[in-house]
Amino acid sequence: MKRFFLFLLLLLPAFAFSQQLNGLWYGVVDLPSARMGIHIYLTPAKSGYASRVYGLWLGSNRIEVKNVLVEGDSVEIKAKGRGMTFKGRLITPDSICGEASHNENVMPVSFKRVPRPQTPQQPFRYQEQEVFFSGGSDSVRLAGTFTLPHYGGKHPAVLLLSSGGPQNRNNEMSGHEPNRLLADRLTRKGYAVLRYDDRGVSHSTGNYAIATVPDLYADARSACVWLSEQEQVDANRIYIIGHSEGGLLACMLASDMPEVAGVVLLSVPAIPIKELLLHQRRTLMSLQGVPEELITVNEELNRLLYTWAADTIDNDTLKAMITEHMTQFYQERYDDMTESDIEAGCSRTVSLVVNNWFRSFVRLVPEEYISEIKCPVLAVYGNKDLMVDAARNADALMNRLPSAEVHRLPGLNHLLQPARGEGGTADYIHIPITMDEQVLELILRHLEDWSKRERTP
């Protein structure tokens, strides 16, 4: 019997439900035709946030939720266009019991709380402020959270930059909130910390779908400038921490802004992005048991597509080139593909390749920015990272910036969690730890050392 997985992320008004329902829950529903594992993530948002739900079915299709109702210790969730409803009640602090209905079928289901031992818990011994500032263009207004130590004076400050894709200020992924964790640990140690929603996400205005890497860089630069202008911040001690693509933005800022006093790069790409993506794809296909012959064919195809995407040809011309090439590719290799199948395949490829962000991303050569960094750098990689190969990228970074302190930590995945198995992305949600404590200790130790150094404007 196949096992299905559904991940629901619920953002609800903070007044809507008991704090006891917050967090990640897991349950299993036995449908007539399948067994479905369900992850539900309940997170209160600031007043005014719209309710949003994201679902993942069989690892690909997003499921929208039509209605979410929470009253006291009870919750009701209705999936849009799926004929699925869940009703349940908090029985103990760590269990929810109820029933799930799918079309005409009604089945009992219970959920157990998934531990997240590092999630910051109130009361917080620091100030937390909702802030707004201009982004990289006049039409973008970024929203974020600014945390400050409870005592006065000017504090060293940290800007947190999220991973790739449209991320909220907490860099929320698979039921984990690494930026929230970092902000909590850093602020408790005396740092002012800014984290913000990407343009077009949550409270930030703008449209992420049409953003390029330079647009996201402009937003990050605006955030860094805003942070430096706050009266509670020591402008000579501003540090940046970025994960993955956020680490790339941190490199760009550090190479361009002399006021940046240090950067922490977590799982950051350091080889040309085209090569990174090809290696990433090869690694994942190999782990899935795909024959080498097919991996090579796929690699040759992607290399061509990435080269075209990185070119300066206009989008319409690129679409036509991809459609013509993919049509021929399918016709030569798959006799059983219908015309509609070929059209669908071409359309999927075009949507993945012909978009502003991807075309700007695949052009990046990180070494160009890394070699220009003058401030102290700490880089951390996990040797079970399937997205950003630790050996290749750590070596590239050290070659371009010998002064950087680079750590390759055994057993950690791309999120710098203790990996399960090979370190695959599907395992992130099942791992209780958001970020390994040795990584947090490295970050805090280096920031403390840097902040003690004499630095003039």
388 three-state secondary structure: coil
> Residues 213, 216, 221, 224: is their CA dihedral positive or negative?
negative
Task: Give yes or no for a contact between 38 and 29, defined as CB atoms under 8 angstroms apart.
Answer: yes
386 three-state secondary structure: coil
Task: Give yes or no for a contact between 199 and 221, defined as CB atoms under 8 angstroms apart.
Answer: no
CA distance 228 to 223: 9
Asked whether the predicted pLDDT for residue 13 surpasses 70, the reply is no
Q: Which CATH architecture has domain 3-114?
A: Beta Barrel (2.40)
Task: Give yes or no for a contact between 274 and 299, defined as CB atoms under 8 angstroms apart.
Answer: no
Under the phi-then-psi rule, with left for phi > 0, alpha for psi from -120 to 50, and beta for the rest, what region is 165? left
Q: What is the band of 75 on the pLDDT scale with cuts at 50, 70, 90? A: confident
In the chain, CATH 2.40.128 covers 3-114
Asked whether the predicted pLDDT for residue 12 surpasses 60, the reply is no
Task: Give yes or no for a contact between 268 and 396, defined as CB atoms under 8 angstroms apart.
Answer: no
Q: What is the band of 81 on the pLDDT scale with cuts at 50, 70, 90? A: low
In the chain, CATH 3.40.50.1820 covers 126-272+364-452
Which pLDDT tens digit goes with each residue over 201-254?
989 999 999 999 999 999 999 999 999 999 999 999 999 999 999 999 999 999
Question: According to the model, what pLDDT value does residue 44 have?
Answer: 62
Strand partners, 379: 265, 406
Identify the H or E element spanning 178.
helix 178-188
Question: According to the model, what pLDDT value does residue 41 have?
Answer: 74
- Is 0.85 topped by the overall pTM? yes
Structure tokens at 200: 């077009």
Per-residue DSSP letter, 270:
-
Question: According to the model, what pLDDT value does residue 2 have?
Answer: 37
28 residue type, one letter: V
Cis peptide before 123 (omega within 30 of 0): yes
Which pLDDT tens digit goes with each residue over 283-319?
999 999 999 999 999 999 999 999 999 999 999 999 9
> Residues 384, 359, 9, 82: is their CA dihedral positive or negative?
negative
Taking alpha carbons only, the member of 147, 137, 158 closest to residue 200 is: 137
Radius of gyration from C-alpha coordinates of the chain: 23
Taking alpha carbons only, the member of 77, 82, 88 closest to residue 105 is: 82
Task: Give yes or no for a contact between 235 and 226, defined as CB atoms under 8 angstroms apart.
Answer: no
Homologous superfamily of the 126-272+364-452 domain (CATH)? Alpha/Beta hydrolase fold, catalytic domain (3.40.50.1820)
Structure tokens at 343: 């059209």
Pairing of strands 233-243, 155-161: parallel
Q: What is the band of 64 on the pLDDT scale with cuts at 50, 70, 90? A: low
Question: According to the model, what pLDDT value does residue 457 have?
Answer: 54
